[in-house]
Structure formats: C-alpha cells, structure tokens
Amino acid sequence: MSEPVGTVVRVTESVQAWWARRQFSKGREVPYERGTYRAAWAAYPELIRQYHPELNDGIALSQVPLAADVLLCWECRVGHRFAATPTEQRERPGRVRRQSAWCPDCSSLARPQPVILGGARAIPRRPKPPASPLCTKTPPLRTGEAFRSACAPAPASAAEGRLRQMLGARILVSSEVNAVKIARPFFRHTEVWPDIVLPELRVAIEYDTVGRHGLEHVGRRQDSDLRKDRHLRSAGWEVVRIRTGRLEPLGPYDLQMSSVSAQGIERILAMLRDIRGPLIVDAYLTEA
C-alpha cells in the first residue's frame, strides 16, 4: 500500500549520512564543534559511558544534538552493541531502577524468556493486573492545601536533608506538612510530596540529582517531574527545582547548583522574592 500523496516519511539516518547532510546544510567541514552539547549530555552519565566515538565514525557525543534523528552505535558495560537514536536512549530507563535498563539486550535478559511448547515458541504471559485504585489515605481537603501525609516517603538523600537544614536557618520551613492536595490523580494519589514545602508562600522546593547510576530525573522520570510541577501550579503553587549534576532547568524558577552551599541558599531566597515579592518573603526570614 503506497503512502498518501503529500505524506512525509522520516527515515532515521546512519551517523555517516547524518553528518554528511549536516556538513552540506551548514557549509562547514565540522557542523558541530566538540563540546557543543557537552552540558546537555552531562545529565546522562550512563549514556556517556556507553558511547564510543570509534564506533560512530569518530564523531564525539558532544557533537550530537540530543534530539537528532540519527542512529548511533552504543556499547553497554557488558559488551552488547546496539543502534539507537539519542531520543530512544534517553527515554529507555522508564520506571525501571536498574543500571541494565539503558541496554535493550540487558533489559531483554531480565525479562521472562520464551518457553518451548511442542516445538513452538511460547512467551509466558502474565495476567494484566487490574487498575490500582486511588489511595484512600489522602484527607478530603481543598485543592492546594498543604498537610502531613502518611504516604510521603522519607528524605531521599543526605544532601536533601542538608538543604532543608540550611534553608531552615534562614527562612521558616514547616516540619508539620510534607504534601500538597492536588485536583487530579498522580500515581494513585491526589497529593504530591515536594522535598521542601513552604505553605505560607505556596512554594515547593525540589532537589534533583541523577543518582548513583544516572537514572534519576532523566528520560521518562523527567516527564514525571514535569507532570508533578503542572499539578502543583494548577493547585496555585509554584515550584523551584535545585538541579545538580548539570541537569538542565525545567521551569522558569529552577536553579542549577553543583552542591548545597550558603551562597546557594541566598540564590534560593532571591528566587523566592522574585516569585512572591520581597515584602512577603522577608517577613518569614528567621534572621537578618
């Protein structure tokens, strides 16, 4: 069956064809200098480890835009080689919290293998679980109201605890609430759990790192962060994300920091003043 007239069919190019086309369109021997996209790729340390220029016609990963429609060759730590576009690789981990999720072969080995029945290959099928009901522990509050949730997880890292302590030395940080009521469900809950809740200012502060294996706050988990932020803003709150490890900002008030420091706390306070105004924010400062 032929494609309808006027339909544009995109064909993913090999790295050699893609590079040659970019050379022609830009009129330069090197269309993207080394290091051009280094900061953007820094949020994906596992992909940096999997990429080898010698497998990709000598082109460095920092010369490839993250959204380029080009097939690149990757090699995982085990030694599996496979072709995938930058977008496919960045979205690969999904919700799986294991390092092998970055490699399709390793992920396949982690799934149930086909069983031979009477000479035919049969893949064991797990029954599809029923849709999980909404959590009933969220109290019937108004949308946007802050409260203490029984479902909220414990702080994820020592750095997050240090941020809370240092910020609490400069501005009132409530220890009585850890959740915000939202209008629509978010992963079985009608509540979200910011890392730090400032109910008087209606501002949520998140502390983002890529984690030990580079799986956190990237790919589909970044999409979840954006959904969470939309829920909070729909509830009348604003979000400040502290983005570490060269993670790019997601929202208008996000801050990039290498670590928690006194200077960083002052940057957060300045951002809070931009959001809610200095008169309101300064009223909650704990010291001059």
User: DSSP letter string over 170-202?
Assistant: TB---SS--EEEEEEEETTEEEE--SEEETTTT
Kindly state whether residue 17 falls inside one of the protein's structural domains: yes
Query: Which segment of 39-53, 121-135, 164-178, 267-281 scores lowest on mean pLDDT?
Result: 121-135
Kindly state whether residue 235 falls inside one of the protein's structural domains: yes
pLDDT at 126 over 90: no
Q: Can you give the residue range of the structural domain that contains 88?
A: 13-109
Q: What was the pLDDT predicted at 105? A: 80
Judge contact between 211 and 82, C-beta under 8 A.
Answer: no
Which residue shows structure tokens 């109201």?
Answer: 145
- Please enumerate in sequence order all residues whose Cβ is within 8 A of that of 43, keeping only pairs 6 or more positions apart, or say none: 210, 217, 218, 245, 246, 247, 248
Stretch 62-76: mean pLDDT, rounded? 90
- What global pTM score does this model have? 0.62
Q: What was the pLDDT predicted at 98? A: 67
Q: Which residue has the higher pLDDT, 211 or 193?
A: 193
pLDDT at 3 over 90: no
Pair 201, 268 in one domain: yes
Q: What was the pLDDT predicted at 112? A: 56
pLDDT at 75 over 70: yes
Structural domain ending residue among the three candidates 59, 87, 109: 109
pLDDT at 123 over 70: no
Which tens digit of pLDDT belongs to each residue from 197-241? 999 999 999 999 887 767 777 777 888 999 999 999 999 999 999
Kindly state whether residue 140 falls inside one of the protein's structural domains: no
Pair 28, 152 in one domain: no
Q: Which residue has the higher pLDDT, 274 or 40?
A: 274
Pair 73, 162 in one domain: no
Eight-state DSSP code of residue 98: S
Pair 154, 239 in one domain: yes
Pair 32, 93 in one domain: yes
Kindly state whether residue 115 falls inside one of the protein's structural domains: no
Pair 151, 92 in one domain: no
Judge contact between 288 and 83, C-beta under 8 A.
Answer: no
Q: DSSP states of 131-176 as a string?
A: PPPPPS-S--PPTT-EE--SSPPPP--HHHHHHHHHHHTTB---SS
CA angle at 127 for the pair 125 and 128, rounded to the nearest 5°: 115
Structural domain ending residue among the three candidates 90, 109, 128: 109
Stretch 133-148: mean pLDDT, rounded? 93
Kindly state whether residue 134 falls inside one of the protein's structural domains: no
Pair 83, 150 in one domain: no
Strands 196-198 and 189-192: unpaired
Kindly state whether residue 133 falls inside one of the protein's structural domains: no
Q: What was the pLDDT predicted at 8? A: 47
- Supply the CATH number for residue 263's domain: 3.40.960
**Burial label, 181 (beta-carbon count in 10 A; 0-12, 13-18, 19+):** buried
Count of domains for the chain: 2
Pair 94, 166 in one domain: no
Pair 272, 161 in one domain: yes
Q: What percent of the chain has pLDDT over 70?
A: 85
pLDDT at 2 over 70: no
Residue 10 pLDDT grade (very low, low, confident, very high; cuts 50, 70, 90): low
Pair 266, 150 in one domain: yes
Which tens digit of pLDDT belongs to each residue from 56-66? 988 999 999 99
Pair 105, 150 in one domain: no
Kindly state whether residue 58 falls inside one of the protein's structural domains: yes
Q: How far is the C-alpha of 67 from the C-alpha of 85, rounded, in Å?
A: 8
Q: What was the pLDDT predicted at 218? A: 79
pLDDT at 55 over 50: yes
Kindly state whether residue 5 falls inside one of the protein's structural domains: no
Q: What was the pLDDT predicted at 128? A: 62
Pair 74, 170 in one domain: no
Structural domain ending residue among the three candidates 109, 134, 157: 109
